[in-house]
A and B are shown apart, each in its own frame.
Chain A
Amino acid sequence: MAKRSVSILTRLLTNPSSPFTAPTRSITYMPRPGDGAPRTVTLIPGDGIGPLVTGAVEQVFEAMHAPVHFERYEVRGHMRKVPEEVMESVKRNKVCLKGGLATPVGGGVSSLNMQLRKELDIFASLVNCINVPGLVTRHENVDIVVIRENTEGEYAGLEHEVVPGVVESLKVITKYCSERIARYAFEHAYLNNRKKVTAVHKANIMKLADGLFLESCREVAKAYPGITYNEIIVDNCCMQLVAKPEQFDVMVTPNLYGNLIANTAAGIAGGTGVMPGGNVGAEHAIFEQGASAGNVGNDKIVEQKKANPMALLLSSAMMLKHLQFPTFADRLEIAVKQVIQEGKWRTKDLGGDCTTQEVVDAVIKALD
């Protein structure tokens, strides 16, 4: 009898109930006739690790037989502007997947990432910073969505030299843009069953600019009585993020703070190599690695081909949902999360030593 109990004990201990025992049947979905027709997506590999990770996405989509085909365009960060044909393609396809574009420091060349967002009026940037099961971090219970205004604020690119040796940089905040980003944030919270929206600001110092932002947020909050709204000053916010991140849910921010908060939140939840994200406007959407730090990578990673493709794979799962192929999106997400959880195939930023290709092969094998 004791012998039997030993075997039961062994069985129990060797089969931990994992939260990702892949659900064999997840959703009942009735597509419309014609929903399976393939969609075209503009693909911009970009600079640095860009081609490596977008290549990863292409391989996985091929393996899944996803109804997506890519129109590839070479764009480099040092070009003066995004080529016309690329803009045409994005406007036509409405959806784009891109790697990072390296923006040279100083020198007056404006960022092509910014240019894309402004021309297509992609006003909201969304990053979902969430603890991935199996990936050990110093912070637990992190599940923050940072929604950042993408077109104005400090990144308006309006700078001029007043007098030799004195430069002014203009930060523009408009009611129109603040209102629409607030509306998008609350709508996102409503549609995704989120309970709280936090506005991040520095209105104690920039009373008029950030004050206008806050006013717009407060007005929109009144239309959503079911969602808690609060405000936090950005310096306190950074400290709270690293001390008690579980208090944050959805955060809505202007451009600069959003950039910093998104990267901090991504960092505490596991690193910018795994957080999915995207940029959306009324008509177009661009998907890329969630938080911007490290999306081009350094030469060493490019040489050794050890870039982390997870972030872009999860972003492309978001893209599949956006294109209304929910089953493919689910399969991809489950496969990626399984690979992360198993822990054997991890790139350097997650503590392992694999190459990008090894991770891609593991994901393809984990697809069901």
Chain B
Amino acid sequence: MSRRSLTLLKNLARNSNASSSCIQTRSVTYMPRPGDGSPRAVTLIPGDGIGPLVTNAVEQVMEAMHAPIYFEKYNVHGEMSRVPGEVMESIRKNKVCLKGGLKTPVGGGVSSLNVQLRKELDLFASLVNCFNLPGLPTRHENVDIVVIRENTEGEYAGLEHEVVPGVVESLKVVLSLKISFVIESFDFDVTRSLENSTRFVPGVVESVEVITKFCSERIAKYAFEYAYLNNRKKVTAVHKANIMKLADGLFLESCREVAKKYPGITYNEIIVDNCCMQLVAKPEQFDVMVTPNLYGNLVANTAAGIAGGTGVMPGGNVGADHAVFEQGASAGNVGKDKIVRENKANPVALLLSSAMMLRHLQFPSFADRLETAVKRVISEGNCRTKDLGGQSTTQQVVDAVIANLE
């Protein structure tokens, strides 16, 4: 009898733990302003590869929720030489855009349309929230990291030129100017001087990484402001200033200055190679991470990977005037042909990003419903795509989410 009671009690204990970890709906008393319910236009760029599949998933779910949003859809493909004028106009008018991945061809001199969008709209901050989802087992627990990455300069400035055959240098140009309008014109000067450089020799390519005080400061300011507004306790700057003393040193200086204004938030610095190791060994030590462009790309994808995969992490890009939401971490946002054919792409990341978008547009109740439904589907575990260990198609996941909307 005591054997039976032991099993019964263990079952009870397991069930009570499971129910306490089940997704709680937030009850929010919210007093909207009159007119807050009028529909908002959002630019939609389906993109390449799995892009159309996952953006369509978002469209279906928004429809089912009767969200006060309507999409202006534009077809942009990665092999175009630039983003069409009408698409830029649309984003400038709507201020908010949702997009799938745009495939950037390897080599060949075609610049990435993703980067072009971010530069033209000055979306200087990219944010990825990597966190463990209840019900999704991973090798790492207690992961809750927000990677804030500078989006417009650094190694992705796109300034490359060939110097001497067979030799590629990576130059770091450090601009320590305090006046922003001088920096603006200086950027142009750097580009022009490199293009008309008399040092131009076939076979040797230089890639120029630009770090400016202006951009470092504003990304640091954004990161600390984010931590303050979201009750985060720590900001970690990721760098390689032991080697690139001037460039990353400038980045660190800017972070330290901003840190002084937020005495309530702990600030520390970590070298990027140690950071990658710590991420996979003890990820719970990280909270908000602020990084320049390249490190941010790598750290974000690593953090997304340990927390469950890039198929589920939400993220977005924001600037002073515009915001573009897409799958959080960039790896796999276009996907392979096989996934496209079998329609087995994971729509969860873009669904959670569109929940962030709903919050950005100030529709918190819709955002909460969407997030709750998505998390419930993941925690129940019977409807998962291949990257999460299941076998479902995108449409099956979408149907499950719609069924779970209340």
Contacts and interface: CB of A to CB of B under 8 A. Distances in A.
Interface in B390-406: 406
Interface core residue of B231, B355, B365 (most chain A CB under 10 Å): B231
B32 A187 contact: yes
A56 B30 CA distance: 21
A318 B29 contact: yes
B34 A180 contact: yes
B33 interface: yes
A183 B34 CA distance: 8
A192 B30 contact: yes
B300 to A, nearest CB: 14
A36 B356 contact: no
Contact of B13 (A11, A318, A321, A331): A11
Nearest to B371: A27
A25 B131 contact: yes
Interface string B38-70: 000000000000000000000000000010100
B242 interface: no
Given A12-B16, A192-B30, A193-B365, A30 B356 contact: yes
B37 to A, nearest CB: 4
A146 to B, nearest CB: 12
Interface string A163-203: 00000000000000000100110011011110000000000
B296 to A, nearest CB: 15
B74 interface: no
A183 B318 CA distance: 33
A270 interface: no
A128 B222 contact: no
Contact of B225 (A12, A35, A276): A35
Nearest to B353: A28
Interface in B365-406: 365-369, 371, 406
Interface stretch (A112-120, A228-236, A256-264, A322-330): A322-330
B28 interface: yes
B20 A17 contact: yes
Contacts, number: 156
Interface string B2-38: 1101100110110010011000101111111111110
A187 B36 contact: yes
A190 B369 CA distance: 13
A327 B229 CA distance: 7
Contacts of B100: none
Given A9-B9, A21-B20, A26-B26, A33 B218 contact: yes
B13 A31 contact: no
A84 to B, nearest CB: 25
Nearest to A281: B34
Contacts of A317: 29
Nearest to A181: B34
Q: How large is the interface on A (under 10, 10 to 19, 20 to 34, 35 or more residues)?
A: 35 or more
A317 to B, nearest CB: 7
B161 to A, nearest CB: 33
A227 B316 CA distance: 33
B129 interface: yes
A368 interface: yes
Given A12-B13, A25-B144, A30-B360, A4 B30 contact: no
Interface in A296-333: 314, 317-318, 321-322, 324-328, 330-331, 333
Nearest to A37: B225
Q: How large is the interface on B (under 10, 10 to 19, 20 to 34, 35 or more residues)?
A: 35 or more
B225 A28 contact: no
A67 B229 CA distance: 9
Nearest to B319: A33
B6 A1 contact: yes
A28 B129 contact: yes
A281 B35 CA distance: 10
B228 interface: yes
Contact of A191 (B24, B125, B316, B363): B363
B352 interface: yes
B320 interface: yes
B203 interface: no
B406 A280 contact: no
A162 interface: no
Contacts of B264: 65
A299 B226 CA distance: 45
B235 to A, nearest CB: 13
Interface string A23-63: 11111111111111000000000000000000000000000
Contact of B318 (A5, A30, A191, A192): A30
A327 B231 contact: yes
Given A324-B362, A368-B231, A28 B314 contact: yes
Contacts of B2: 1-2, 5
A326 B364 contact: yes
Contact of B320 (A34, A67, A183, A282): A34
A226 B66 CA distance: 9
A119 B319 CA distance: 38
B351 to A, nearest CB: 12
A19 interface: yes
Contacts of B362: 324
A8 interface: yes
Nearest to B313: A28
24 contacts: A2-B2, A5-B5, A8-B6, A23-B24, A24-B144, A27-B359, A29-B230, A30-B316, A31-B226, A31-B229, A32-B323, A190-B68, A192-B32, A192-B365, A193-B365, A193-B369, A193-B406, A226-B66, A280-B32, A317-B29, A321-B29, A321-B364, A324-B362, A328-B231
Interface of A: 1-2, 4-5, 8-9, 11-12, 17, 19, 21, 23-36, 65, 67, 123-124, 126, 128, 130, 180, 183-184, 187-188, 190-193, 226, 276, 278, 280-282, 285, 314, 317-318, 321-322, 324-328, 330-331, 333, 368
Given A318-B29, A321-B28, A327-B231, 8 more contacts: A8-B6, A25-B144, A29-B229, A32-B323, A184-B34, A191-B37, A191-B68, A328-B231
Interface of B: 2-3, 5-6, 9-10, 12-13, 16, 19-20, 24, 26-37, 66, 68, 124-125, 127, 129, 131, 144, 218, 221-222, 225-226, 228-231, 264, 314, 316, 318-320, 323, 352, 355-356, 359-360, 362-369, 371, 406
